[in-house]
Amino acid sequence: MPEQLAINGGTPVRATKLYYGRQWITDEDVKAVAETMTGDLITCGPKVTAAEQKLCAYTGAKHAVVVSNGTAALHAACAAAGIKAGDEVITTPLTFMASANCALYVGAKPVFADINEKTYNIDPASIEACITKRTKAVIPVDYTGQACDYDAIRALCDKHHLILIEDAAHAIGTSYKDKKVGTVADMTCFSFHPVKTVTAGEGGAITTDDDELYHKLALFRGHGIERDPANMEETPEGIWVYEQQMLGYNYRMTDFQAALLMSQMERLDAFGARRKEIVKRYNEAFKDMEELVLQEEIAESDTTRHLYVIQLNLEKLTCTRAEFFNAMSAENVQCQVHYIPVYLSPYYQSLGYQRGLCPKAERLYERIMSIPLYPMMTDDDVTDVITAVKKLVAAYRK
């Protein structure tokens, strides 16, 4: 007979709450930030440049521009690509809304392509079906950290003369065909939010190999202001002179955030290795459970997983996704759902987007939840998550 669930009065698997993700800050991180905070420059200083160089060294990209957050990275990429009113940008609905909002920020229209129901990433065939004469760019999202099918997507972009902007907010550390994410697309956007693999508190970055795009990105981050005499239209009369050459924003990263990012990146490979260990344990524990469907990975992606998503096979269970989610919380394993399809939000509905646009993404959303995955988890924590999932499946099994 199945063990009584905590939500029904049974004993929880854990005594304390375990959340789906969290940062890991060490004494070395604190020291790096403290040294910067007590230095001469805490913003617009040398740590920002050093962080950009470190990102280039890690990814292999020629240029990196760090910014205030991942949303700013996407906005800057769209602006640098010259996307404007009347243009269309294709992306996935299974993402945080910033992946689509960035098109709206520059006056363009987000167009949603459906997902591959096995990998959960954007489907190249659906992208192609969405391309029109107005399409200017494609923004694939490396959902959970797995790289998209970039051979197929790049071929489409080349065929139709489209800009490829990779939303790699989940994917730092991932490689596609032995090439680090950060060099696959025309521009790659990262996020350093606390639940991501490495954090700057907040923060983001764009990498590119294109010199012209790099210059536009750097200008856009800092009010559109140019200070390099070599790039000014007029010969400056003194070192104080600057020119605003475009409409930009204040999307700068502080030096103490950059210091934290650099310190975190010293452990990026170790963080990735631990995430892979946890993913392997989950895969082994759940692979033969017909009540669960696991995300499939393409051979080309060596994935540093940001999220571990389980899909409930609701036809094999007596519960809803909400009931399963709440029962996990009662066991003191707090899950999350990533994501509500973007166009189902009231704002996008007010713009005319309708339910049923991407049926595969909508069906998947109704069945998924993210279980805890972060490097600071102990082996006992991982065991508790597995135990909780199996306990619920046994109780709700038809």
Per-residue pLDDT tens over the stretch 2-61: 899 999 999 999 999 999 999 999 999 999 999 999 999 999 999 999 999 999 999 999
Q: What is the mean pLDDT of the chain?
A: 97
Stretch 203-225: mean pLDDT: 97
- Tell me, what's the pLDDT at 236? 85
Three-class HEC string of 189-234:
EEECCCCCCCCCCCCEEEEECCHHHHHHHHHHHECCEECCHHHCCC
Catalytic residue (choose from 136, 180, 196, 391): 196
Using the predicted structure, report yes or no on whether residue 66 has a pLDDT greater than 90: yes
Task: Give the C-alpha separation, 339 to 341, whole Å.
Answer: 6
196 labelled catalytic: yes
What's the topology of domain 27-265? Aspartate Aminotransferase; domain 2 (3.40.640)
* Extents of the domains making up the chain: 6-23+268-396, 27-265
Structure tokens, 370: 């993210």
Give phi and psi for 99, each to the nearest 5: -65, -25
Class of domain 6-23+268-396: alpha beta
pLDDT tens-digit map of 232-284: 888 888 888 899 999 999 999 999 999 999 999 999 999 999 999 999 999 99
Half-sphere exposure of 22 (CA within 13 A, CB side): 11
Higher pLDDT, 237 or 217: 217
> How far is it, in rounded angstroms, from Cα 164 to Cα 117?
22
Residues in the chain: 398
- The reported pLDDT for the residue numbered 1 is 78
Contact between 286 and 292 under an 8 Å Cβ cutoff? The reply is: yes
pTM over 0.85: yes
